[in-house]
Amino acid sequence: MRKMTKGFASALALTAGLSSAAMAEDVEVLHWWTAGGEAAALNVLKEDLAKQGIGWIDMPVAGGGGEAAMTALSARVTAGDAPTAVQMLGFDITDWAEQGVLGNLDAVAGPEGWDQVIPEALQAFSKHDGHWIAAPVNVHSTNWVWISKAALDKTGLAAPTNWEELIAVLDKMQENGITPLAHGGQPWQDATIFDSLVLAQGSDFYKAAFIDLDPEALGGEKMAAAFDQLLKLRTYVDSNFSGRDWNLASAMVINGEAGMQIMGDWAKGEFLKAGQKPGEGFICIRFPGTQGAVTFNADQFAMFNVKGEEKVKAQLAMASAIESPAFQSAFNVVKGSVPARTDVPDTDFDDCGKKGIKDLAEANTNGTLYGSMAHGYGAPAAVKNATFDVITAAFNGEYSDGATAAAALKDAVAAAQ
Amino acid sequence: MAALPEADFRTKLQDWLPKLVLAPSVAVTLFFVYGFILFTVVLSFTSSKMLPSWDFVGFSNYVRLFSLPHWHVALKNIAIFATLYIVICTAIGLMLAIFLDQKIRGEGVLRPIYLYPMALSFIVTGTAWKWFLDPGIGLENVMHQWGWESFSFTWIKSNTMAIYTIVLAAVWQSSGFVMAMFLAGLRGIDNEVLKAAQIDGASNWQLYRRIVIPLLRPAFLSAFVILAHLAIKSYDLVIALTGGGPGRATEMPATFMYSYTFTRKEMGVGASSAVIMLMTIAAIMVPYLYSELKEKKE
Amino acid sequence: MSVAAQDTAVSTGRITRAFIYLILLLFALFYLLPLYVMGVNSVKPLSEITGGNMMALPKEWTLDPWRSAWSTAQIGVNPTGLKPYFLTSILMVVPAVAISTMLGAINGYILTKWRFKGDTIIFGLMLFSCFIPFQIVLIPMARVLGMLGMAGSIQGLILVHVVYGLGFSTLYFRNYYAAFPTELVRAAQIDGAGFFRIFWRIMLPVSGPIAVVCVIWQFTNIWNDFLFGASFGGTTQPMTVALNNLVQSSTGVKEYNVHFAAAILAAIPTLIVYIVAGRYFVRGLMAGSVKG
């Protein structure tokens, strides 16, 4: 038996040796863009690097918007074997930076002038103690509404610009016999809607409640009003909403079963894939009452400490390739998001993409660009999930009114801090 | 004379050899299981967030744990789930085994059909089940399309009923396995005993109730160990089917532990929930293992 | 065993038999349903799935989803399908199953035939280890693998699976060997056979049935494991991680037909093991593990 195990072990050592015999110039990338178009889009980056002689060792881990990938990352860092670059969101980056395990990108960020072209609200996450630690790939904004053009035309109303108009459109759609609001009952989707509702209460209020976590804002009247609106929106979804994936909700709008969906700009890909065009098959608007402000969710590649000059060089080359305007444009056209730098030309983007780029630049100038709570850019994980708990409970009818929910939110956030 | 000490040495070696061979397995178990349990216990008294830290905070993680409504939901759910799952799997498994044991034609085809779900992981079957249970695309929709308009099956969308859909899928997965265990038990029973009882005029019902089922006691116990093990580790199942929803209505200790340790970065709270779980498992399993192992000594 | 393998001597009436067949068939339908749903939807074009009847047969049959799942679907940045991941899984599963089964056999042999003071406690400890929730071992295990230099390798995964498979494999073999007459072992000892000789010559040759049970159990659990594979696999990821990557992409278009084809492909090895070894499975259970 001993002989047998030994044989196995050596056979394995051989194969493992083959697969991990990395060249010094390889980058190892942990991410959750694991399938379909977004994975293909990432391939553009891989090929850019290949041209510079840098190999790409892929470690994709899907599941729960990066949750499984973060678990795998914890295991790898604990094992002392961190990857070169890891796709990461918001406070996860900050948390890892505080562990002192992230690298330093100043060598490329300085000369390439990242400070000038990347929105400051993003820099808050891409930099730690004044040093660049992560390279942002894109900016998704979450306060969008995707409306079926046919369903809207049938109501005879214009695209809504405030809460009252939105309700009027929803009511009319209901009369027309379709589900007014397509929605999937998963905590992050409930929270995505709620982000917009809070933002519509005023961008200062959003900042006070979801960025500064001010207890008075969290438990106050405006929060109660936002929860009351959430309960109102709840009445426009079909009875079958819970657990539905977001893309199936998009499909309902595409098929004409439903009137609209409140979702981030990744939803656009579903419409395009179904052969619809912005302005023809569907319309994209900012959530009523939030035009001028943007809640964002940005994918970034956080760079970990790697040993060896060659490895550092490869890592820096990767960071530089990510921020190249050509890649930013090519990747984001496919992904549905907008470039993380504000100086990329919008020529290749469709109308919704152009609007997204313009809105982002405007919000950046006006200081109304905020991290999305629903996507980990508002507050750290413990707080984020505590707000999810309350929002989801509210959406599922556990609180009698908005004021009770707001009080519960205040308590939950306090307990999680 | 010279051979004697050598023989002595050889006997000694023969005495020690079994223990030496067993030692690595024991060492590995002590380290990787009990060492890690100890590690978790220690962790549960620290303020660990994303990664372990050694800042001791007493029982505050436990206080926080029991103040969380989710944890109570998770405990209630595992109680409902484990009870129903074990009872129903045992009942179905026993029934199918008894039926299959009646000189059934096609047993060779039926048996693998009953068994195969155990071979699939829920990463694989989760989507199929989710569809099937979803009123919009699944069973309800199909029934409507087939003309049964009033048919309604919306458990998975209901806060109170969703936990039962998890029971349903879990029973689908493992009841065939339990069937195999009982079938093996039945095939091991000496037919002479049954014939004698039949001659005494016992009805089939009496035969099974009085003679066969008591003889299956060992199979019941093995089934219990395996089902309890699967019930406690039911993580994939919940994630695939409901993701813990609607709302948080189907949260279980396994999903709770994972989400607090990794997603929510409250490792201390996650560890304390793991300790509570282990203590509960120990409270149930240790007396059982004790009685089982003691009996075997006879 | 030939006697034991017979069906029951209980006889039943015609109506009862009809009822029994009905129940058995209904349950067969229940067990087959998800497989049917997966199978039938894996040969439909995507447009027929979204908005169609889940149970209906395809109007247009296609094998493209299967081809895509096997060799061209995008998994991570590489459009390779599931094909390359099979090798990793097999390189992991085969040694892990072989080692844990062998260790289980020898442990079972020692715990029943070379008993010593405290052996029951040791067995109890090993058995209870089956119940450890895997979530809690991730972080310390990662540390240990890192220190051993096995992080992100197949060897590391094999080690993990062997360690956490030991409890069940020891349980199976111990219960099986407990029923084996100890007198035969003693007699062999008197004839001068040593510890290993008895194991090789006497115990192993009769261990076929329980080895089948143990192999099926370990194979299923290890092949289907996701948590360890995702956490410790590094860049050598097993099948389940690839499958999960394919079906769980968070913000991409979901190609359900490809997902189902991939799901069935990923399950084929375990299905084969069940179907081929299935007939020995009941026999193996019968021969040992259910005798308390």
Does the pLDDT value for residue B273 go beyond 70? Answer: yes
Nearest CA in chain B to A187: B247
List of chain C residues whose C-beta atoms are within 8 Å of the C-beta of residue B274: 133, 135-136
Between CA A68 and CA A70 the distance in angstroms is 5
Examine residue A152 and state whether it is found in any structural domain, yes or no.
yes
Q: Which pLDDT value is given to residue A14?
A: 40
Give the tens place of pLDDT for each residue, C48-60: 876 677 778 888 8
Between CA A261 and CA A170 the distance in angstroms is 11
Number of domains in chain B: 1
Q: Do A82 and A128 belong together in one domain?
A: yes
Q: Do C20 and B99 touch (CB under 8 A)?
A: yes
Examine residue A5 and state whether it is found in any structural domain, yes or no.
no
Q: Do A50 and A126 belong together in one domain?
A: yes
The domain boundary residue, chosen from A335, A359, A383: A359
Examine residue A7 and state whether it is found in any structural domain, yes or no.
no
Count of C-beta atoms within a 10 Å radius of residue B250: 27
Mutate to test the interface with A, among C249, C258, C259 (most CBs of A within 10 A): C249
Q: Do B159 and A396 touch (CB under 8 A)?
A: yes
Examine residue B206 and state whether it is found in any structural domain, yes or no.
yes
Mean pLDDT of B187-215: 81
User: A390 lies in which domain range?
Assistant: 142-296+370-416
Mean pLDDT of A388-396: 92
| B134 vs C40 pLDDT, higher one | C40
pTM of the model: 0.85
Between CA A346 and CA A123 the distance in angstroms is 22
Between CA B160 and CA A397 the distance in angstroms is 13
Q: Which pLDDT value is given to residue B263?
A: 85
Q: Do A136 and A146 belong together in one domain?
A: no
Q: Match 């759910």 to its residue by tokens.
A: B77
**Under 8 Å between Cβ of C254 and C193:** no
User: Average per-residue pLDDT in chain A?
Assistant: 88
Q: Do A193 and A76 belong together in one domain?
A: no
Burial annotation A186-223 (CB, 10 A radius, 16+ → b, else e): bbbbbbbbbbbbbbbbebebbbbbbbebbbebbbbebb
Examine residue A198 and state whether it is found in any structural domain, yes or no.
yes
- DSSP per-residue codes, B33-58: IIIHHHHHHHHTTB---SS----B-T
The percent of residues above 70 in pLDDT, for chain C, comes to 91
* Strands of A85-88's sheet in order across: A56-60, A27-31, A85-88, A300-303, A134-136
Top mean-pLDDT range of B7-11, B28-32, C132-136: B28-32
The CATH number assigned to the domain holding A248 equals 3.40.190.10
- Domains of chain C in start order, with CATH, are 83-289 (1.10.3720.10)
Between CA C234 and CA A279 the distance in angstroms is 45
List of chain C residues whose C-beta atoms are within 8 Å of the C-beta of residue B118: 220, 274
Mean pLDDT of B133-158: 82
List of chain B residues whose C-beta atoms are within 8 Å of the C-beta of residue A96: 50
Q: Which pLDDT value is given to residue C89?
A: 92
Collect all residues with Cβ–Cβ distance below 8 Å to A266 and sequence separation of at least 6. A140, A335, A336, A337, C251
Does the pLDDT value for residue A320 go beyond 90? Answer: yes
Q: Do A258 and A383 belong together in one domain?
A: yes
- DSSP per-residue codes, A265-293: GGGHHHHHHTT--BTTTEEEEEPTT-TT-
Q: Do B188 and C286 touch (CB under 8 A)?
A: yes
pLDDT band at B295 (very low <50, low <70, confident <90, very high): low
Identify which of C105, C134, C84 has the alpha carbon closest to the alpha carbon of residue C239: C84
Number of domains in chain A: 2
Give the tens place of pLDDT for each residue, A247-273: 888 888 998 999 999 999 988 888 887
The percent of residues above 70 in pLDDT, for chain A, comes to 93
Nearest 5°: phi and psi at C78? -105, 125
List of chain A residues whose C-beta atoms are within 8 Å of the C-beta of residue C95: 5, 8-9, 12
Identify which of A410, A386, A374, A381 has the alpha carbon closest to the alpha carbon of residue A217: A410
Q: Which pLDDT value is given to residue B191?
A: 78
Point out the residues of chain C with pLDDT beneath 50: 1-5, 289-292
Examine residue A119 and state whether it is found in any structural domain, yes or no.
yes
Examine residue B40 and state whether it is found in any structural domain, yes or no.
no
Does the pLDDT value for residue A149 go beyond 80? Answer: yes
Examine residue A2 and state whether it is found in any structural domain, yes or no.
no
pLDDT band at A11 (very low <50, low <70, confident <90, very high): very low
Q: Does A245 touch chain C (CB under 8 A)?
A: yes
Q: How far is CA B171 from the centre of its chain?
A: 11
The CATH number assigned to the domain holding B131 equals 1.10.3720.10
Examine residue B92 and state whether it is found in any structural domain, yes or no.
yes
Examine residue A169 and state whether it is found in any structural domain, yes or no.
yes
User: Average per-residue pLDDT in chain B?
Assistant: 85
Nearest CA in chain C to B259: C135
User: B228 lies in which domain range?
Assistant: 73-273
Q: Do A289 and A338 belong together in one domain?
A: no
Nearest to C231 among A5, A15, A75 (CB): A75
Q: How far is CA B142 from the centre of its chain?
A: 32
Q: Do A75 and C251 touch (CB under 8 A)?
A: no
Q: Do A77 and A34 belong together in one domain?
A: yes
Examine residue A6 and state whether it is found in any structural domain, yes or no.
no
Q: How far is CA B210 from the centre of its chain?
A: 28
Tell me how close the Cα of B283 comes to any Cα of chain A, in angstroms: 30
Tell me how close the Cα of B52 comes to any Cα of chain C, in angstroms: 8
Q: Do C285 and B194 touch (CB under 8 A)?
A: no
Q: Do A33 and A98 belong together in one domain?
A: yes
List of chain C residues whose C-beta atoms are within 8 Å of the C-beta of residue A99: none
Give the tens place of pLDDT for each residue, C185-218: 889 988 888 889 999 988 998 888 888 889 988 9
Q: Do A74 and A206 belong together in one domain?
A: no
Strand partners, A181: A260
Mean pLDDT of B65-71: 90
Burial annotation A82-117 (CB, 10 A radius, 16+ → b, else e): bbbbbbbbbbbbbbbbeeeebbbbeebbeebebeeb
Which one-letter amino acid corresponds to residue C269? P
Q: Which pLDDT value is given to residue A409?
A: 95
Q: Do A386 and A410 belong together in one domain?
A: yes
Give the tens place of pLDDT for each residue, A211-244: 999 999 999 999 999 999 999 999 999 988 888 8
**CA angle in degrees (0–180, nearest 5) for A251-A254-A260:** 90
Between CA C123 and CA B232 the distance in angstroms is 21
**Under 8 Å between Cβ of A96 and A120:** no
Q: Which pLDDT value is given to residue B66?
A: 93
Q: Which pLDDT value is given to residue C240?
A: 84
Helix axes A36-51, A325-335, angle to 10 degrees: 160
